Each structure stands twice: as structure tokens, then as C-alpha cells.
Amino acid sequence: MKIAVTSGKGGTGKTTVSTGLFHVLTKYMKYNVQLLDCDVEEPDCHIFIKASETESFPVYLSVPEIVADKCTFCGKCKAVCAFNAIVMLPPIKFIEVSKELCHGCGACTYVCPEGAITEHNEEIGKITHYDYYTRDEFIEGRMSVGKALQTQVIRETIRHSEERSVVIFDSPPGTSCPVVATVSKADYVIMVTEPTPFGFHDLKLMAETVKQLGKRTGIVINKAGLDYKPLYDYIHTNKITILAEIPFKKELAEAYSNGRIIAESDNGMKTIFQGIIQKILNGQTN
Amino acid sequence: MDKPIEIVILSGKGGTGKTFVTSALASLAENAVFTDCDVDAADLHLVLTPDIYKTEDFASGSKAIIEQERCTLCGLCKDLCRYQAINFKNNQFEIDEFACEGCGLCAVACPAEAIRIVSYNNNKIYHATTRFGPMVYGKLGIAEENSGRLVSKIRQYAKELAMQKGADYIITDGPPGIGCPVISSVTGADLVIAVTEPTLSGWHDLERLLGLINGFKTPVKVIINKYDLNKQMADNIERNLEKSGVTVIGKIPYDESIVYALIEGKTIREYSPDSQLAKQFNVIWNQVKSSIYEPDSI
């Protein structure tokens, strides 16, 4: 079972939920489990999961380079590039690939009739494996600062995962391509929200995305306490399962701020996280 | 002033209070244009409640489609695709639309000319007016890509509008993270306000954001939101920032009235004009303005 933890809005508690579930699954429930940090722009799971690093692998993008001497300025590479990454000024014999825009697809290299394009690997991120309670339980994807191809780093991170009874993906915020790259590989989607207008607005966007992808889903309401009626009405009308409500407590906020796992803060919390897993694995959700 | 000053509110980590800060500044900035570049999950309109006068579609990207009746099953497309977006399933080659980047290599290479590239038109750009001034914002189609391009277009419209109206400021509610939409939001901006929170994650993510902004040489000021949830960490963050020459221009306490203001669709200044919080934003806005006119800052 692959479970993606998502939110739409950032900061609602994706990492709190994914690290909490992971920790409870491995430590107390003795499951064969793996946690993947797919929020490669801002990977934060490692702050809570104090694990030992075992191996790391660079993620490369194959970036083209045009040898101006061989180039005849025919313009085929520029015409084929879907990302407008090729700057060409024939009168001054200037041609260059803009690295910021290049997606490394290889189309220019393929169409160049002169063999004037060579490619070299550029590091855009890193994937790190960690041991936690057992071997290779935590994998982090991390995009290099200044790079823009987060989706490619996410896909590579997911390729590093293996078949386990439960694999948890800590997803990036939002609803666009990086989120879809994560959610489309999952069997079940946990949507974490908070009872505020922003949390609710972004939850609706997320629910729509999950629906389009045809995934089973349930909600965790974090920082619960504020009786924000529109949220509860929406959940009720759309018959979405509430997997758990995590109350807002200053102690929890403080534990989180110091990098402690919320699920460990008291027995009540542990029970909440175990309950989420049981509901999902026993199919007690829509 | 000839050119509007563009201020972008960013955070690295999501949920630290970008939109809250943006809306508070919006209520103070006279003669400004507002944009929401968090096109994945735009929320600023929930507070500024804009009246939209024009909506336009914006092409987001493209995807490959295989015409199965023309396909000779040679498999060249699958071999060439670097995104593993073409799979052989049910005796035919199929495009995984979520993995396809729309680069068009397969379409160019296909000897049977069986592959077409179609563009998607699912994004929206809204032109609107608000009680504080004009606003341009966008909405990414569900599950769409290329939010960077949409962000660039929104900023271009905002700039044109600001020039035309002679606005002094463009205030942008930015996206979380440090990826393509953030890069698109910060390129060429005059000032970044980074909103963080006193948590290890907030700090870790802010450091990565500062690393990115540093590459652009854009001046940056920091606001620590909910600072009293962990005062010690807030102090640590402030000290560390000072060492690298970054000024903290405000430390905002955790305050439930922020949520209640939001529920009523109000900025903090409208919700409780005499509160400490509202007064604090007057100070912050003055600091923002004076930092802009420091001769060495821009």
C-alpha cells in the first residue's frame, strides 16, 4: 500500500502526519515500511526522523551544449525546443542553451544534422537513503538550490523506493505537476487540512485533483478546535472520511518546532496515528 | 517615481503566513497593484475579495498523443523518451500523461508520424479590482504544469498595469518552496520579504530560500511569524540572520484574531484597527519603505 500525504495549502501538517505514521508503523506496529520525502524543494522529514545515512545518489540532468564551430545555424534545434531554451543570433554567430529553461529532453541533440550538440550531466538533486529502526527505511529526495526541475527529482526519488507493506510519500504542497508526480504513484491519498478559510479553499482544490486521478482518499484535520463550519459541511456533503482530528495544542506546536515527532508526545497522539493506519488498511474509508 | 517597486512575499516552508502578511501590507500600501503568484493554491483573493472584470485562458503546456492506428510498434519513442513517459501496455505504446513533459521528441522522431503534441489551455488569469487597488492573479488548472510560465505572465500584466496607473508598488503573494514558480516570482523583483516561523523546519526551509535569493542578489528582509510559539528559536533565527547581514523587520505573535479576521475576509487593520498587531504592521510597512530607499539597498 502506497500512501501519499498531501495538503494543497502548505504548513497544514503533511510532514507531521507522514513522519508520525511512519514512526508508529515501524516502532510500535512493526510493519515493513518505507518513508519517502518527496517535498524535494523543502525536504523536512529528516528534522523529525533522526536516521543514519547509508548511501546517496546524485540526480543528473543531461544538459546540451552547442559547439558553435560545427553549428550551421539551420535553426532546427531552436524550432524543436518546447521550452524556448535555445537562444540563437545567426548574424553574430551566437547560439546557446539557456540552462534555466532546459528540461534535458534531448530533442535538440536528436534533430541536429551536424552533430554539433554534445551533452553533459549536471547535478539537479540528490537522493539519500537512511536506516531508521530497520534497514533502508527512509529515503529523501532533495533538489539542489537554484534548480527548477523538481518533478524530475521527485520521480527519481520514487524510483528508489521498493515494495513494502506500506510506503509513505510526504508530498510537496500545491496541486500542480510535482504533486501529481507523487500522488499518481500512490494507492491512497491522505489530505491534511486545517479548519481555516485558506486550509478549506486549498483542500477543495486538492480533493478535485485526487478525484481526477481516481484515488481513494481521507482527511486529517490538523490544528482542530476551531469549529469552522464550511469545512465540516463540505466533508459531510462529499462523504469524505475523516481519518483523524489532531487538536491544536501549544505543547504540540512546541514539540514540532523543536523537531520532535508529534505521535510520540503522548499516548493519545499515538492512538490517533495508529487509528489512521487501521482505518486505511482495513478499508474503513471511501 | 518612474518605475514601480516590486515586493515579493516568500517563505520556503508553506503555511508560515505569507498571505496574511501580504494582505496586511496591502491594506497599508497606497497606490499599489497586487498579485498572487501562488498559482497552485492562490488564497489572497479570499481576503482581498476582488471583483473580476476580465478572465483569460492561458496555455499551460503540452502533451503527446499516439494515434494507435498509425503506430507500427517500432518502439523508437519509448527508447528516446527520457521521462519514462511511454509504456508498452495491452500490446500498444501508451503515453503516461502525468510523466509526459510535452517536449515533442517522440513526435519528431516517430517514423510513422503517429504522434501529435496537443496543448492544454486549463489555466486562468484574472484581472480584477479590490478595495485596496487593482489585482492580477492566476489559477493553475488542476494537475497542470508550467506554473513558472503562468507566474511570469501574471507579473508581466501587473507591471504593465502598474506603469499605466503610475503605481508606486507591486506587492506579490508568492508560492512556497524554491522551485520553478518561486524562481519565476523572484527574478527581477526589487525586494523579497521572507516570512518564517520559529520551528526547525521553518528555519531549514528559509535557509534554502535565502540561498536561492542570494543567487539573484535581491535584497531580503525577514518577518518571524508566531515568534512566541518558541521564543528561544526565534532569537536563534534572528541572531543567525544578523550574522549573514539579513535584518528581521518584525516578530509577530501567535494570535487567534488572525484566523477570525480571515473568516470575515478582512485584513488585520480592518478587523481590529487599534490592536497591537495592526500597529505592528504600520511599523513593518515603514521599515519596508525605508529599506527600499536606502541608497545601498537597491
Q: Are residues B222 and B74 in the same domain?
A: no
Residue B133 lies in a domain: yes
> Domain for residue B271, yes or no?
yes
Confirm whether B182 is domain-assigned. yes
DSSP string, A119-180: EEEEEEEEEEEEESSSTT-EEEEEEPTT---HHHHHHHHHHT----SEEEEEPPSBSSHHHH
Same structural domain, B66 and B52: no
Low-confidence stretches of chain A (pLDDT < 50) are none
Q: Is B180's CB within 8 Å of A155's CB?
A: no
pLDDT tens-digit readout, A122-132: 999 999 999 99
- Return the C-alpha cell found at A78: 531552436
Pair (B162, B289) in one structural domain:
yes
Nearest to B121 by CA among B64, B58, B62: B58
Predicted local confidence at residue B296, as pLDDT: 52
The answer to whether the CB of A61 falls within 8 A of the CB of A121 is yes
Q: Which residues contact B217 (CB under 8 A, 6 or more apart)?
A: none
Grid cell listed for B289: 519603505
Backbone angles phi, psi at A5, to 5 degrees: -105, 115
Instruction: Give me B191's grid cell.
Output: 525586494
* Residue from A31, A16, A22, A28 nearest A3 by CA: A22
Q: Are residues B47 and B66 in the same domain?
A: no
B166-209 residue pLDDT tens: 999 999 999 999 998 999 999 999 999 999 999 999 999 999 99
Distance CA B15, CA B133 (A): 25
Task: Please state, in angstroms and as integers, the Cα–Cα distance from residue B243 to each residue in A79, B246, B248, B272, following that order.
Answer: 48, 7, 12, 36
The whole-number pLDDT of residue A148 equals 87
Reported as a single tens digit per residue, the pLDDT across B5-21 is 999 999 999 999 999 99
Query: What percent of chain B shows pLDDT beyond 70?
Result: 97
In a domain, B91, yes or no: yes
Q: How confident is the model at residue B146 (pLDDT cuts 50, 70, 90)?
A: low
Same-domain pairing of B82 and B179:
no
Integer Cα distance of B281 and B238 in angstroms: 18
Assess whether B92 and B212 both reside in one domain.
Answer: no
pLDDT for B297 equals: 46
pLDDT of residue A176: 86
Residue where one domain finishes, among candidates B120, B138, B160: B120
User: What grid cell was written down for B179?
Assistant: 522551485
**Chosen from B80, B98, B185 to mutate, greatest number of chain A CBs within 10 A:** B98
Share of chain A above pLDDT 70, in %: 99
Hunting for cell 476582488 — which residue is that?
A: B50
Domain housing B72: 61-120
Domains of chain A: 2-59+124-281 (3.40.50.300), 68-115 (3.30.70.20)
Q: Domains in chain B: how many in total?
A: 2
| Best mutation target, B105, B230, B266, to test chain A (most A CBs within 10 A) | B105
Q: Distance, in angstroms, between B147 CA and closest chain A CA?
A: 8
Q: Which of B43-52, B247-256, B285-294 has the lowest mean pLDDT?
A: B285-294
Mutation for testing the B interface, residue in A176, A182, A201 having most B CBs under 10 Å = A176
Look at strands A33-37 and A166-170 and give their pairing.
parallel
Beta bridge partners of A217: A189
User: Which residue has 523506493 as its cell numbers?
Assistant: A161
Q: Could you tell me if B156 and B285 lie in one domain?
A: yes
Residue B97 and residue B245 in one domain: no
Domain boundary among B120, B143, B170: B120
CA distance to A157, B9, B61, B218, per residue, from A61 (Å): 14, 30, 20, 27
Whether B77 is covered by a domain: the verdict is: yes
In a domain, B298, yes or no: no
Which residue in B has a C-alpha nearest to residue A151's C-alpha? B99
Asked if A198 and B19 come within 8 Å (Cβ–Cβ), the reply is yes
In a domain, B288, yes or no: yes
DSSP track, A177-239: HHHHHHHTT-SEEEEEE-SSHHHHHHHHHHHHHHHHHT-EEEEEEEEETS--HHHHHHHHHTT
* B228 and B93 belong to one structural domain: no
**Residue A107 CB-half CA count within 13 A:** 27
Domain check: are B160 and B233 in the same one? yes
User: Final residue of a domain: which of B105, B120, B135?
Assistant: B120
| C-beta of residue B117 within 8 angstroms of C-beta of residue B64 | yes
Residue B82's CATH number:
3.30.70.20
- Examine the pLDDT at B2 and tell me if it is beyond 80: no
Give the pLDDT of residue B102: 92
Q: Which residues, 6 or more positions from A234, have their beta carbon under 8 angstroms from its beta carbon?
A: A200, A203, A204
pTM over 0.80: yes
Distance from C-alpha of A177 to C-alpha of A154, rounded to nearest angstrom: 10
Rounded to 5 degrees, what angle do the CA atoms B44, A17, A9 make? 10
Mean pLDDT of B76-102: 93
Look up the CATH number of the domain holding residue B42: 3.40.50.300
Residues B98 and B183 in one domain: no
Let me know: does A235 contact A219? Beta carbons within 8 Å.
yes
Residues B16 and B138 grouped into a single domain: yes
Residues 6+ apart with CB under 8 A from B146: A177, B60, B61
Q: Which helix (H) or strand (E) holds B285?
A: helix B276-293
Closest CA to A206 of A197, A219, A196: A219
- Three-state DSSP at B230 gives coil
User: How far, in Å, CA of A15 to CA of A17, rounded?
Assistant: 5
How close B2 gets to chain A, by Cα (Å)? 30
Q: Which residues of B touch A62 (CB under 8 A)?
A: 82
Cell of A188: 491512497
Q: What is the model's pLDDT at position B295?
A: 54
pLDDT mean across residues, chain B: 93
Residue whose C-alpha cell is 517597486: B5
Mark yes or no for CB contact B143/A175 under 8 Å: yes
